[in-house]
Amino acid sequence: MTPEIVHHYCPIEAFDSITRNRILWFSSALYMNDPSELELVIKQLKGIQRQKGLVKELAPAIEVLNADRLNALICSFSENGDILGQWRAYGADGKGYSIGFDAQAIHELLNQRFGELVYKLPVKYGDNRLESYVESELQDLLEGQITPQDFAFAMRLSNVLHKHACYAEERELRFMLLNVKEEGQESKLPIDYRFSKNRLIPFYPFDFPSEFKGRPLMAQVTIGPTNLTDPEVLKTYLAKLGFTGVEVKKSELPYRGR
Q: How is 6-49 classified by DSSP, letter by letter? A: EEEEE-HHHHHHHHHHTEEEEEEGGG-S-TTTTTHHHHHHHHHH
Beta bridge partners of 222: 98, 249
Mean pLDDT of the residues in the chain: 87
CA angle 183, 188, 193 (to 5 degrees): 100
Q: What are phi and psi of 133, to 5 degrees?
A: -65, -45
34 pLDDT band, cuts 50/70/90, is low
**Of residues 12, 16, 19, the one with CA closest to residue 216:** 19
Name the more confident of 157 and 237.
237
Is the pLDDT at 26 greater than 80? The verdict is yes
Identify the residue with better confidence: 252 or 197.
252
pLDDT in tens, 172-212: 999 999 876 555 556 677 889 999 888 898 899 999 999 98
Residue 84, domain member (yes or no):
yes
Q: Residue 3: its pLDDT value, please? A: 67
DSSP state of 207: E
Percent of the chain with pLDDT over 70: 92
Task: Tell me what the mean pLDDT of segment 36-60 comes to.
Answer: 80
Model confidence at 76, pLDDT cuts 50, 70, 90, reads: very high
Inside any domain, residue 164: yes
- pTM of structure: 0.87
Q: Crossing angle, helix 148-161 and helix 40-52, to 10 degrees?
A: 130
Reported as a pLDDT band with limits 50, 70 and 90, residue 256 is confident
Rg (CA), the chain: 20
Predicted local confidence at residue 158, as pLDDT: 84
pLDDT at 70: 59
b/e for 162-198, b at 16 or more Cβ within 10 A? Answer: bbeeebeebbbbbbbbbbbeeeeeeeebebeeeeeee
Residue 257 lies in a domain: no
What is the secondary structure of 80-142 as a DSSP string?
A: -S--HHHHHHHSGGGTSEEEEEEHHHHHHHHHHHHGGGEEEEE-EESHHHHHHHHHHHHHHHH
Let me know the angle formed at the C-alpha of 196 by 27 and 38, rounded to the nearest 5 degrees.
40
pLDDT over 90 (residue 233): yes
Asked if residue 256 belongs to a domain, the reply is no
> pLDDT, tens digit, for every residue of 212-225?
888 889 999 999 99
The answer to the question of residue 258 being in a domain is no
Range of the domain at 29: 5-250
Q: So what's the pLDDT on residue 108?
A: 94
Least confidently predicted of 67-71, 108-112, 132-136, 140-144: 67-71
Residue 101 is predicted with a pLDDT of: 97
Identity of the amino acid at 29: A
The whole-angstrom separation of Cα 87 and Cα 17 is 18
Q: How many domains does the chain have?
A: 1
Q: Taking 60 as the threshold, does the pLDDT of residue 36 lie above it?
A: yes
CB neighbours (10 Å) of residue 24?
23
pLDDT at 78 over 70: yes
Cα dist from 223 to 21, 81, 84, whole Å: 20, 10, 12
Mean pLDDT within 134-144: 89
Residue 223: its pLDDT value, please? Answer: 98
Distance CA(166)–CA(185), nearest Å, equals 40
CA distance 21 to 136: 44
Does 149 map to a domain?
Answer: yes
Top-ranked range on mean pLDDT: pick from 10-19, 148-157, 178-187 = 10-19
Q: What pLDDT is stored for residue 107 in this prediction? A: 94
Give 235's contacts (C-beta < 8 A, 6+ positions apart): 246, 248
